[in-house]
């Protein structure tokens, strides 16, 4: 069974990837420093995987912690790297912390991959690398834009490092997956997003408002050049995002080209107002909505062209936005018993 090191594996996306890997016959080994995740998720992962999944408390900036993991686990066949901070707004307030954590962990992990001769590497990137593109539907050929936030810059820098790494170590094969807006939760109701404190992202803010933890949801800006004036994004179910990692590992086993990048979205844009309306309709829950100014750093509209992932990885999204919004609500309601 191939062993895959999954950094940030108890986080929102990582936990869903662990389950997808186990289902496909991989053996996930999780490293997480639990700075943005909950230790109880490890048990949920084991429950859904139906077997033991090793979980190490390790910070990717600490090479000795990674070496300790390797000494105990033996050879690793691949790495999926998700351990990073991900809030655009927080990164503007704490730029040094983002550089240190996101770029620091990537560079130490790269040294670890090199010394351990781990042949396959999947990097968790983001559509944020496109900045504010001139087109709304972006392909992988769309150039990097000016980074709008320190968070965006760290994703660009890490992708750049993958190119330099492969040049220096041609035996290493790398894929970067540029996620658009992952939402939803595991259909079992056992895994989902656990934002600490006040959420930055739209979906947890919606579900916390619906459950009464927040008073009202603010729509950030209604004067964008979009059909209803609110921002447009490509919201993709987290289980589809997880499946893309399984496909990326399969691709790397026989990679023709490396490093390679893929957009991971649905190919469709939805506005903030549409998402609010669909959430209320499919779940039968009204939301108190107020209208606010634009949020600094937001681009008006961006969604993925996913032709490349479809052709090369044989991947495309299978869940609808309606499914994702239902699963997100089931997860939120289950948290009273968490």
Angle of helix 202-210 relative to helix 272-283, nearest 10 degrees?
Answer: 40
By CB under 6 A, residue 208 contacts ligand UD1: no
- Bond prior to 290 in cis (omega within 30° of 0): no
Of 112, 179, 251, 279, the residue at the interface with ligand UD1 (CB under 6 A) is 179
CB 304 within 8 A of CB 180: yes
Site size toward ligand UD1 (CB under 6 A) is 24
How far apart (Å, rounded) are the C-alpha atoms in residues 26 and 220?
A: 41
Which range binds ligand UD1 by CB under 6 A, 186-194, 196-204, 303-311, 326-334?
A: 196-204
How far apart (Å, rounded) are the C-alpha atoms in residues 230 and 48?
A: 38
Of 107, 188, 218, 310, the residue at the interface with ligand UD1 (CB under 6 A) is 218
By CB under 6 A, residue 315 contacts ligand UD1: no
Cα 216 to the chain's mean position, in Å? 26
CA separation, residue 182 to residues 71, 169, 299 (Å): 34, 32, 17
By CB under 6 A, residue 127 contacts ligand UD1: yes
By CB under 6 A, residue 37 contacts ligand UD1: no
By CB under 6 A, residue 317 contacts ligand UD1: no
DSSP per position, 256-281: SSSSEEEEES-S--EEHHHHHHHHHH
Q: Kindly name the residue from 12, 56, 98, 151 that is annotated as catalytic.
A: 151
CB 53 within 8 A of CB 22: yes
- Catalytic-residue membership of 224: no
Minimum separation from the CB atom of position 217 to ligand UD1 (A): 6
Of 42, 194, 202, 309, the residue at the interface with ligand UD1 (CB under 6 A) is 202
What is the x/- site pattern for ligand UD1, positions 134-163, by CB under 6 A?
------------------x-----------
Residues 6+ apart with CB under 8 A from 83: 7, 8, 11, 14, 31, 32, 33, 59, 60, 105
What token pair was written down for 232? 């447009």
Of 181, 258, 305, 332, the residue at the interface with ligand UD1 (CB under 6 A) is 181
By CB under 6 A, residue 233 contacts ligand UD1: yes
Of 6, 219, 239, 306, the residue at the interface with ligand UD1 (CB under 6 A) is 219
Of 23, 70, 268, 295, the residue at the interface with ligand UD1 (CB under 6 A) is 295
**294 DSSP assignment:** P
Of 2, 24, 54, 87, the residue at the interface with ligand UD1 (CB under 6 A) is 87
Which range binds ligand UD1 by CB under 6 A, 64-72, 249-257, 293-301, 311-319?
A: 293-301
Angle of helix 104-116 relative to helix 150-168, nearest 10 degrees?
Answer: 20
What token pair was written down for 43? 């048990």
Looking at the annotation, which residues are catalytic? 151
Residues in the site for ligand UD1, rule: CB under 6 A? 86-88, 126-128, 152, 179, 181, 200-202, 205, 217-220, 231, 233, 272, 295, 298-299, 302
């Amino acid at each position: 069974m191939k062993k895959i090191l999954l950094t940030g594996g108890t986080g929102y996306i990582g936990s869903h990837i662990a389950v997808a890997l186990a289902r496909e016959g991989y053996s996930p080994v999780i490293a997480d420093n639990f700075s943005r995740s909950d230790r109880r998720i490890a048990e949920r992962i084991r429950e859904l995987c139906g077997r033991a999944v090793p979980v190490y408390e390790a910070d990717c900036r600490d090479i000795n912690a990674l070496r300790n993991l390797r000494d105990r686990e033996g050879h690793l066949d691949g790495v999926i790297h998700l351990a990073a901070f991900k809030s655009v707004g927080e990164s503007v307030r704490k730029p040094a912390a983002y550089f240190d954590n996101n770029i620091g962990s990537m560079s130490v992990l790269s040294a670890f991959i090199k010394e351990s001769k781990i042949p396959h590497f999947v990097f968790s990137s983001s559509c944020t690398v496109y900045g504010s593109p001139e087109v709304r539907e972006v392909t992988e050929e769309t150039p990097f834009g000016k980074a709008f936030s320190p968070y965006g810059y760290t994703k660009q820098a890490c992708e750049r490092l993958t190119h330099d790494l492969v040049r220096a170590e041609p035996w290493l094969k790398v894929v970067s997956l540029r996620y658009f807006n992952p939402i939803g939760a595991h259909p079992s109701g056992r895994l989902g997003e656990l934002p600490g404190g006040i959420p930055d992202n739209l979906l947890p803010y919606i579900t916390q408002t619906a459950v009464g933890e927040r008073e009202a949801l603010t729509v950030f800006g209604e004067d964008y050049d979009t059909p209803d004036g609110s921002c447009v994004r490509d919201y993709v179910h987290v289980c589809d995002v997880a499946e893309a990692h399984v496909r990326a590992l399969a691709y790397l086993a026989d990679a023709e080209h490396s490093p390679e990048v893929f957009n991971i979205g649905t190919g469709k844009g939805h506005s903030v107002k549409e998402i609010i309306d669909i959430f209320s309709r499919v779940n039968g829950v009204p939301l108190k909505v107020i209208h606010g100014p634009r949020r600094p750093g937001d681009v008006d509209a961006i969604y993925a062209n996913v032709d490349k992932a479809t052709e090369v990885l044989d991947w495309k999204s299978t869940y609808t936005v309606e499914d994702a919004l239902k699963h997100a609500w089931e997860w939120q309601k289950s948290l009273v018993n968490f």
